[in-house]
Structure 1
């Protein structure tokens, strides 16, 4: 068999093998349940019986499956085997975030890691890059290696998640998990989040109270945080009687975050009619990108445009213009999530059932810096000038 043929054969049997393992890990196949027959697998993957038997044979040798003569192939009960082989001192917690190395995530992770390590657990970090397929692979690793507990930031939490079965299997296997920053509502998990709707309301309200009416909001809406911040933004405009123009709200996805908001702001700034006086941003990271667009237009913050971020990240303090923003608890959020999951591990609980632990929501705080200014003083001055000019004309007549 030449190398090319061998590679094709290996790819085919790995595909069969991977599919069977996924069905075990997401709970489709439960211990002692019969799996699809060789013939069914041959038809499903359009492969030979030899390829199917290689895949099944490896899974049998690895302890995922077992055969019964004349009856078929069955899903093995791995829990008993794994518990027997587990070192009592091998205590481990997984932390899964959408990102690891940038923005506010290192602070969240440090807060959780310090608390977990203090209790003698090893910490394993994973990043989904806000991608469901990555989330699936990570959850399979968590399930196959039987971690004691998991802290999870949901991936694209505003849209339907294809990996819900994996979370349900975590519960079946009594592996507790706590969700941070957002949660999958259908699971009703223990979670530690921000009051994002109130935060979005406070962003808009701050600008409104400074006299701004042409306010544009930018929100990343494949994560539930963005949808809730947008909801708060719209509610504030309604409460204060500010007309809501559809063109003054831009939504974008994770894949568009590097391009779409900047392009849209540039378009607005070139329009005399739609040019905003105030901008509300999904987060500080976006605010930094939009500041670049504003500079390129030879405009200044806050002289020409006021801008409000969210998260009170390092960006807010190190930028050329110190950013008005909403405080995010960061390490405090990670620490609280760690305490919760450790308590669940200690009590042997994997879900809300029988738990006296409640989800927690941090309330937002507005941090006012130099990126916003009042328009009321300008209007009062303009009114005085108009009145003064009118008085002069009247005096001449």
Structure 2
């Protein structure tokens, strides 16, 4: 338990986390006050204060002569006059395109009279679970989630289902877990991967390397589009030209792989990067090899972030709506908070666009 808070508050948070994690479900009986006092080394008076607060807040219910039970959160916790706090869980908050997404969500919610509670998983499945538990314990009325490493499954399924059981509407952004049938606001990443590769193929390039982060489904779909563009032209992709990496390896694996590819007797003439952030990092590798962009190597990346125009090489890139995606997600969630709308809300898929800048050029003869 967190030692920064009074003992009764720490016990409250501990019990709320049990409920959020599904350890105790609605209708389950809690340990007695004596048992809790012994387990946590607290007085019965402190335990009674914690339990009383949780009963008053709707988490627990008391039955005379029977004990204390987990209550189902009532729907009116989301109604007028109840909680106006919406939770947003992202993989990151303060870097790359995430601040723009957050601003979009916050602006749209503010217009509708809602406040925003932010949390970041920092790419950790364990922190994602902690964030879900926190959101439930804080009494949010709705939740927007960017799944963490969405291509690696959903070990936090029970925590998500606890939110659903308590009547808290949720939608996902950028991608979604396959085992959760929630609305999702995202970009058509496969179409983006196709457009990136097709642009280079149409310019005469054939030896095109693709570098994709594949522990999230965004990268998986971008890679699928990349491969499909080749197949539709009846071209085989050389296996060594597809570089896959995980989030933990993003600062080493793709850079080392490109160094190796550029050192080959027949190096690639173009590359497709998972995002602008990676493309900017790879520019240093290209300079080290004594090559120029786009004269020796063309580059297409993703997201059209501020990084796409931050260096002397202006990147050709695939758009990501960022703030608009956040605004759309917030608008859909507000609609879901209407009891009549329920879970009937549908997600939204943005069509990506290719933004042409100076990092690509037709393949020179020979």
Q: Same fold (TM over 0.5)?
A: yes
Match of 1:124 in 2: 117
Distance 1:179 1:289 in 2: 29
- 1:309 maps onto 2:301 in alignment: yes
- 1:32 maps onto 2:24 in alignment: no
Say which is worse superposed, 260-269 or 224-233, in terms of deviation: 260-269
1:6-17 aligned at under 5 Å gives the runs: none
Distance 2:12 2:53 in 1: 11
Match of 1:394 in 2: none
Counterpart selection for 1:343 from 335, 344, 348: 335
Contact 1:307-1:324 at 8 Å conserved across structures: yes
Distance 1:87 1:301 in 2: 57
1:25-64 aligned at under 5 Å gives the runs: 25-35=20-30, 50-51=38-39, 54=42, 57=47, 60=51, 62-63=53-54
TM-score by length of 2: 0.86
Distance 2:334 2:346 in 1: 14
Distance 2:249 2:207 in 1: 24
Residue deviations 1:294-340 (CA, integer Å, cap 9, x gap): 11222111111111000111111222111011011111111111110
Distance 1:116 1:65 in 2: 30
- 1:91 maps onto 2:78 in alignment: no
Contact 1:219-1:250 at 8 Å conserved across structures: yes
Distance 1:15 1:293 in 2: 50
- CA drift of 1:348 comes to 5.7
Match of 1:110 in 2: 103
Residue 178 and residue 294 in structure 1: after superposition, are their counterparts in 2 closer, same or farther (change >3 A)?
same
Counterpart selection for 2:234 from 237, 241, 257: 241
Counterpart selection for 1:208 from 201, 204, 209: 201
TM-score by length of 1: 0.80
- CA drift of 1:162 comes to 1.3
1:161-240 aligned at under 5 Å gives the runs: 161-240=154-233
- CA drift of 1:349 comes to 5.2
Match of 1:327 in 2: 319
Contact 1:171-1:350 at 8 Å conserved across structures: no
- CA drift of 1:34 comes to 2.6
3-state SS of paired residue (1:279):
strand
Match of 2:365 in 1: 378
3-state SS of paired residue (1:125):
strand
Match of 2:5 in 1: none
Residue 252 and residue 36 in structure 1: after superposition, are their counterparts in 2 closer, same or farther (change >3 A)?
farther
Match of 2:70 in 1: 76
- More helix, by proportion: 1
- 1:283 maps onto 2:272 in alignment: no
Contact 1:156-1:222 at 8 Å conserved across structures: yes
Distance 1:94 1:369 in 2: 37
- CA drift of 1:19 comes to 7.2
Larger radius of gyration: 1
Residue 106 and residue 344 in structure 1: after superposition, are their counterparts in 2 closer, same or farther (change >3 A)?
same
Distance 1:105 1:251 in 2: 23
Distance 1:269 1:205 in 2: 22
Runs of 4+ residues over 4 Å off in structure 1: 14-21, 35-38, 52-56, 64-71, 80-84
Structure 1 vs Structure 2 CA RMSD: 3.2
Contact 1:32-1:74 at 8 Å conserved across structures: no
Number of residues of Structure 1 aligned to a counterpart in Structure 2: 355
Contact 2:76-2:82 at 8 Å conserved across structures: no
Counterpart selection for 2:348 from 355, 360, 371: 360
5+ long unaligned stretches in structure 1: 1-6, 8-13, 43-48, 380-397
Residue 237 and residue 156 in structure 1: after superposition, are their counterparts in 2 closer, same or farther (change >3 A)?
same
5+ long unaligned stretches in structure 2: 3-8
Distance 1:257 1:205 in 2: 25
Distance 2:169 2:76 in 1: 17
Contact 1:177-1:350 at 8 Å conserved across structures: no
